[in-house]
Amino acid sequence: MTQTIAVSEIFGPTVQGEGPLIGRPTVFVRTGGCDYRCRWCDTLYAVLPEHRDEWTSLTAEEIAARIGELTAGKPVLVTVSGGNPALQPLAPLIALGRRAGYRFALETQGSVARDWFAALDWLIVSPKPPSSGMVTDWEAFEACLAAAGDAPRRALKIVIFDEGDYAYARATAARFPSLPVYLQTGNPAPELGRDDPLGVEADFDALRRQTRWLIERVASDRWFDVTVLPQLHVLVWGNRRGV
């Protein structure tokens, strides 16, 4: 029986808006379903089960064909996100795409380990800080890193809203000293449960203040081996979906 993948949306080419691949041309495959419920989630349409009717069940071949249409067959980076894409059977898609010359980056919170992580080009693990309302399962997190091994390039991406998140990031970086760390300015999106989070315009003044605070915080601590980034896509397109 052919396995299918729950897909919320496929879009691009555009550029990656955050993390170690910021600015890199990419096509996004956003899967549906997540085992987390972060307070400030800005992709609830790919998380909450009440949106399941909006998702499409596609085979790896169907997804690869859609990526090929968007890129006119020219290989590009494919970013797989969610939700939590680790919940989906992505091994066939990665194998099919890599045979065609595409590269794959996966973004996950590190709660579910899969052996196919080792087939990725990038594994970007984004543990959720205290402001999310979630608690990190470090055993599961370490299992994700172990599943990837040294095959893909690995990085930590941590969203920062406040001092508690910053302290969490410092502790996480100390726990995994071999991994590069990217701190991402939090986008003050509506809290979990709002019907239309994407209908709210981004607060650009708040984003600038948050980014200045984070830069100053890192500089005052002399934390010089970390990278501080805004969310590029939010600065350009606000909270629009599918860009």
184 φ/ψ angles, rounded to the nearest 5 degrees: -110, 125
| More confident position, 206 or 27 | 27
pLDDT at 200: 54
Q: How many CB atoms lie within 10 A of CB 104?
A: 22
Kindly report the CA angle at 75 between 73 and 81, in degrees rounded to 5?
110
- pLDDT, one tens digit per residue, over 62-77 is 999 999 999 999 999 9
- pLDDT, one tens digit per residue, over 104-116 is 999 999 999 999 9
Q: Report the residue count for the chain.
A: 243
Q: Give residue 204's pLDDT band: very low, low, confident or very high (50, 70, 90).
A: confident
Percent of the chain with pLDDT over 90: 81
Helix (H, G, I), strand (E, B) or coil at 6: strand
Residue 96 CA to residue 90 CA, distance in Å, equals 10
- pLDDT, one tens digit per residue, over 142-200 is 999 999 999 999 999 999 999 999 999 999 999 999 999 999 998 865 543 444 444 45
Residue 234 CA to residue 18 CA, distance in Å, equals 10
Q: How much is the average pLDDT of 124-150? A: 97
Q: How much is the average pLDDT of 55-65? A: 98
Q: Which residues contact 117 (CB under 8 A, 6 or more apart)?
A: 86, 106, 123, 144, 147, 148, 152
CATH number of the 5-237 domain: 3.20.20.70
In this structure, are residues 224 and 211 in contact, taking their beta carbons and an 8 Å threshold?
no
The answer, yes or no, to whether residue 88 has pLDDT greater than 70, is yes
Give me the chain's average pLDDT, please: 92
User: What stretch of H or E contains 163?
Assistant: helix 163-175
Cis amide linkage into residue 83, ω under 30° from 0: yes
The answer, yes or no, to whether residue 91 has pLDDT greater than 60, is yes
Structure tokens of 125?
């693990």
pTM to 2 decimal places: 0.91
Could you state, in order of their start, the residue ranges of all structural domains in the chain? 5-237
